Structure 1
Amino acid sequence: MHFSKSLSVVSAVLASAVVAVPAQSGIFKRNFGGIQITNCDLSKSQLPHRGENPKIADPSSDLKLSRVVLGRGTQNYTCKAGSSDKPTAAGAIAILYDASCPASYQPALLHELPGAFLQVDSSTEYLAAAILQTMSSEHVVAGHHYFSGPTTPVFDFRVKDGDKDIFCGKKTSNVSAPGDSVKGKNNQGDGAVDWLKLDSVDGTSGFKEAYRVVTAGGSPPPTCKDKPASFEVDYTAEYWFYN
């Protein structure tokens, strides 16, 4: 995907934010403070699935979708010096951006975002987020993703006073990313990381299950040849949370 196309997709996000809510709802307020670009209704949004089998398990029937975010960051790996072994996963870090409005109103656009944002320099990404933030009284940055241990992913949404939502998970199932997923920047790389289903563990508040889907980049090379003791691989993914 070319840089210009990536920027056009980012621009489309801005446009979709403006048209997401009918004009009669009074969204156009002074300084754009009322444009709804976050916290859109997710009641009709559907978790994406791969077009081929195997498919990732569905959410539990008694749960409802509560958040959709776009994660942009790095998958982290370690290697033994001079080893030809496969790199060892060492967690991930990412910024989580509210994606509820494209999930609600333009899901096809949402599914373009992981591949598009992976091509955009972080400075441009932050600029786009800053522009969106000036248009909304809500937080565009929804939270942060990190690991609290070797195998415990954390999604921390406590970005402002009063926020309590945090998800600590364990992987319960995974499937390979579709073959046409974006492999990395300029579609060059070692592939998109797996799609995952996660169940909550101790420390969670506000969620029961989570999914990582529509991934772009993030996979390590097959061996540690010519790699340092630790390294990062850029990735982007959609994260869907249920409660």
Structure 2
Amino acid sequence: MRWNVLSAAALMATATIHARAAPASIAGRGDNGFDDLYGFSDALAEYYSLVSRHIYNTNRDSMPVCDLSKAELPSQASGLPAVPAGQNLVYVAIGRGTQNYTCSESSSSVGPSPIGALATLFDASCLAANFPDLLTTTIKVVLNYQGPNLPSTLPPANVAMLGHHYFSNNTTPVFAFDSAPPGRGGMAVTRKIKQMTAPAGSVPGQGNKGFGAVPWLYLQTIAGTTNNYMSVYRVNTMGGSPPTNCKGISGVFTIQYAAAYFIFSEG
């Protein structure tokens, strides 16, 4: 990540702060006032505040570079297996999409069954390497975006699309890096090895309302994988969990979620 990215974000923050001081005739419109007009949120305010702090603390003569060796899994991920020896971080991706479920019948005695997920992946590697707090806050912001159509460059951090996440069947997560730079694409076909409950305080869903954050995961690659991808960690999850039962629900339904994915390869 370069200085000009942070500077642009700071300018956006300044514009937002100025807009916050809108005339009473606009600001006093309640739900139809500034917040709706500009998409302002507590998460976005937190993001811009962090950007401003990083700009203030950054040495202009020694600007940050994208060194993935500096990117680390969150400390709370200690409940998952450690990264296997010999594996190196290739990407940190923000995933934004839906966790998908089905209810066999509308009944409080039946629980939803998971049937995979569908998400767009964005390359947040440099953000994770230099500003992990901004990575987390960006995930909070993008959770509240309305899908399914997302821009190829995801605001507010302006990270580029990396690929897509989907399931080849109900139990096989796939990560297709179809928007990666030439020679850095490929596909990770995985299976779940271990999961842990999302840490206390995780964002439960859009608007900070919902049924909870989906678990953190450790996935290993299986046959069909290319480019030596070996492991995937899903962390920093927000939203995605279903209700505890199927009362009032029948058939397939989706729950919005966002998360960070740390992707490792061999060698």
Q: Which bin holds the TM-score, normalised by the shorter protein?
A: 0.7 to 0.9
1:212 corresponds in structure 2 to 234
What is the SS of the residue equivalent to 1:50? helix
Give 2:120's match in structure 1, choosing from 81, 95, 99.
95
What is the SS of the residue equivalent to 1:102? helix
Deviates further, 140-149 or 58-67: 58-67
Instruction: Identify, as 1 or 2, the structure richer in helix.
Output: 2
1:114 corresponds in structure 2 to 139
| Aligned sequence identity (%) | 37
Structure 1 residues 167 and 15, CA gap change in structure 2 (3 angstroms): farther
Per-residue deviation at 1:57? 1.2
1:136 corresponds in structure 2 to none
Per-residue deviation at 1:68? 0.2
Q: Is the 8 A contact 1:6 1:119 kept in 2?
A: no
Task: Please tell me the residue identity of whatever aligns with 2:127.
Answer: P
Deviates further, 158-167 or 183-192: 158-167
Count matched residues. 224
Q: Is 1:186 aligned to residue 211 of structure 2?
A: no
Q: Is the 8 A contact 1:172 1:199 kept in 2?
A: yes
TM-score, reference length from structure 1: 0.80
* Aligned ranges 1:147-162 → 2 under 5 Å: 147-159=167-179, 162=183
Task: Please tell me the residue identity of whatever aligns with 2:169.
Answer: G
1:4 corresponds in structure 2 to 41
* Aligned ranges 1:52-67 → 2 under 5 Å: 55-67=79-91
TM-score, reference length from structure 2: 0.73
Give 1:197's match in structure 2, choosing from 201, 214, 218.
218
Structure 1 residues 65 and 15, CA gap change in structure 2 (3 angstroms): farther
Q: Deviations over 1:175-202 (max 9, x none)?
A: 0001100000121111000000000001
Deviates further, 101-110 or 154-163: 154-163
Structure 1 residues 12 and 65, CA gap change in structure 2 (3 angstroms): farther
Q: Is the 8 A contact 1:132 1:140 kept in 2?
A: no
What is the SS of the residue equivalent to 2:202? coil
Unaligned 5+ segments in structure 2 are 1-38
Separation of aligned partners in 2, 1:96 and 1:202: 22
Per-residue deviation at 1:127? 8.2
What is the SS of the residue equivalent to 2:98? strand
The root-mean-square deviation of aligned C-alpha atoms, in Å, is 3.2
Q: Deviations over 1:100-122 (max 9, x none)?
A: 12101111111222222212334
Q: Is the 8 A contact 1:114 1:238 kept in 2?
A: yes
Separation of aligned partners in 2, 1:15 and 1:145: 32
Separation of aligned partners in 2, 1:128 and 1:141: 6
